[in-house]
């Protein structure tokens, strides 16, 4: 009886799948391994496919849409269905430009040699789960399992951009997402936090503003120039969060997501209390006048 080994290929044009399908079938024809290929066209679809199916190998082209600007690649080693997978990355980037979660992988620079790709996949399929990284200890506690629902994050990012554009905030630019300790202080001076839960996600979303960006947004919202943070305008951050989630509601409610009422946090050293084993991601944005941040915290499921 053959052992099924499932491969997730994150590639928007089927190029990688077409390169490996026939060679893998030939290489494993007389083997006890049966490779099963599953393709996702972008990072969001990849996150959806990993919710209900376990993968032994994940093959990623870093140029696909909604991959490097979403949550999928930042939790690969902690998602319950990919945390044990071998990882192969096809890219034009140097390894130093990739997120930490893509560092411990088989890296193939473009243009790739098809034989090198097939050989890498064969090697991964013929071995078990990847060995621990040098920093891991045999006696270390098991890594906590959690999942970031990238669909929700993408919906919130889109709603944030749309709402701020409606407010008249100019030249909004999203920066590169980066992993951040969930136990670090929020970067902005005024923040709004909601707790969010779905079948595959537990955690927090925080929208945090520096003084300049907040005064820019709240001035247009209140239709009166605001020059200082004060008791009269600080509650508007919760209303901003309500408007953003209201705009995203049509999408996120389809995912079975529950949200709490936004909680306002004042001060540059504000913290979100979360359990040990949680993970964090920070998505920075800039406007003409300042900066704001979307911080995503995933809490170990079941805790």
pLDDT tier for residue 71 given thresholds of 50, 70 and 90: low
- In percent, the amount of the chain with pLDDT more than 90 equals 17
Q: Evaluate whether 206 touches 294 at the Cβ level (below 8 Å).
A: yes
- Tally Cβ neighbours within 10 Å of residue 79: 23
Q: Evaluate whether 146 touches 44 at the Cβ level (below 8 Å).
A: no
Question: What pLDDT does residue 243 have?
Answer: 86
How far apart CA 199 and CA 302 sit, in angstroms, is 11
pLDDT in tens, 242-299: 888 888 877 777 767 777 777 888 888 888 888 777 878 888 998 888 999 988 888 8
Question: What pLDDT does residue 145 have?
Answer: 43
pLDDT in tens, 215-227: 988 888 888 888 8
How far apart CA 74 and CA 79 sit, in angstroms, is 10
Give how far Cα 238 sits from Cα of 11, 17, 179, Å.
38, 45, 25
In this predicted model, which residue has the larger pLDDT, 13 or 178?
A: 13
Give how far Cα 169 sits from Cα of 57, 193, 245, 248, Å.
43, 21, 18, 19
pLDDT in tens, 132-175: 333 333 333 334 444 456 677 778 888 888 888 888 787 888 88
Q: Give the position of tokens 């190029």.
A: 15
Question: What pLDDT does residue 60 have?
Answer: 92
SS3 content of the chain, % helix, strand, coil (to 5): 30, 25, 45
Give how far Cα 103 sits from Cα of 92, 96, 167, 211, Å.
14, 8, 40, 35
What six digits make up the tokens of 46?
């990849």
Question: What pLDDT does residue 132 have?
Answer: 35
Instruction: Report the first-to-last Cα separation within the chain, whole angstroms.
Output: 38
Give the ranges where the chain is alpha helix by DSSP (H). 15-27, 43-52, 114-126, 150-167, 211-222, 236-252
pLDDT tier for residue 199 given thresholds of 50, 70 and 90: low
How far apart CA 40 and CA 35 sit, in angstroms, is 16
Give how far Cα 29 sits from Cα of 2, 20, 35, 301, Å.
10, 14, 10, 39
Calculate the average pLDDT of the chain: 80
Q: Output the pTM of the full model.
A: 0.55
pLDDT higher than 60, residue 232: yes
Please give the full DSSP string across 137-187, using - where no structure is assigned.
Answer: -TTSPPPPP----HHHHHHHHHHHHHHHHHHT----EE---EEE-TTSPPS
Helix orientation angle between 15-27 and 114-126, rounded to the nearest 10 degrees: 60
- In percent, the amount of the chain with pLDDT more than 70 equals 86
Structural domains for the chain: 3-126 (3.40.50.2300), 150-298 (3.40.1550.10)
In the DSSP assignment, the letter for residue 98 is S
Collapse the DSSP code of 108 into the 3-class scheme (helix H, G, I; strand E, B; otherwise coil) and give the result: strand
């Amino acid at each position: 009886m053959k052992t099924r080994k499932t491969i997730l290929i994150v590639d928007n044009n089927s190029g990688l799948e077409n390169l490996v399908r026939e060679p893998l079938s030939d290489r494993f024809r007389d083997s006890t391994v049966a490779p099963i290929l599953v393709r996702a066209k972008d990072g969001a679809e990849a996150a959806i496919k990993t919710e209900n199916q376990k993968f032994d190998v994940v093959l990623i082209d870093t140029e696909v849409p909604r991959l490097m600007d979403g949550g999928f690649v930042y939790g690969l080693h902690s998602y319950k269905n990919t945390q044990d997978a071998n990882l192969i990355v096809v890219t034009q980037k140097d390894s130093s430009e990739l997120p930490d979660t893509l560092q411990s992988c088989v890296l193939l620079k473009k243009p790739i040699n098809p034989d090198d790709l097939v050989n890498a996949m064969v090697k991964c399929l013929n071995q078990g789960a990847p060995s621990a990284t040098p920093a891991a200890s045999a006696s270390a506690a098991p890594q906590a399992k959690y999942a970031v629902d990238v669909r929700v994050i993408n919906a919130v990012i889109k709603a944030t951009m749309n709402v701020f554009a409606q407010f008249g905030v100019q030249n909004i630019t999203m920066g590169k997402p980066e992993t951040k300790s969930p136990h670090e202080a929020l970067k902005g001076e005024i923040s709004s936090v909601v707790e969010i839960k779905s079948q595959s996600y537990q955690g927090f979303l925080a929208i945090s503003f520096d003084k300049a960006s907040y005064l820019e947004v709240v001035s247009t919202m209140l239709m009166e120039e605001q020059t200082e943070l004060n008791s009269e305008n600080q509650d508007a951050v919760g209303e901003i969060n309500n408007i953003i989630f209201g705009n995203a509601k049509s999408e996120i409610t389809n995912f079975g997501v529950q949200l709490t009422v936004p909680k306002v946090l004042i001060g540059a050293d504000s913290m979100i209390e979360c359990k040990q084993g949680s993970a964090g991601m920070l998505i920075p944005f800039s406007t003409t006048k300042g900066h704001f941040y979307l911080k995503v915290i995933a809490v170990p499921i079941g805790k």
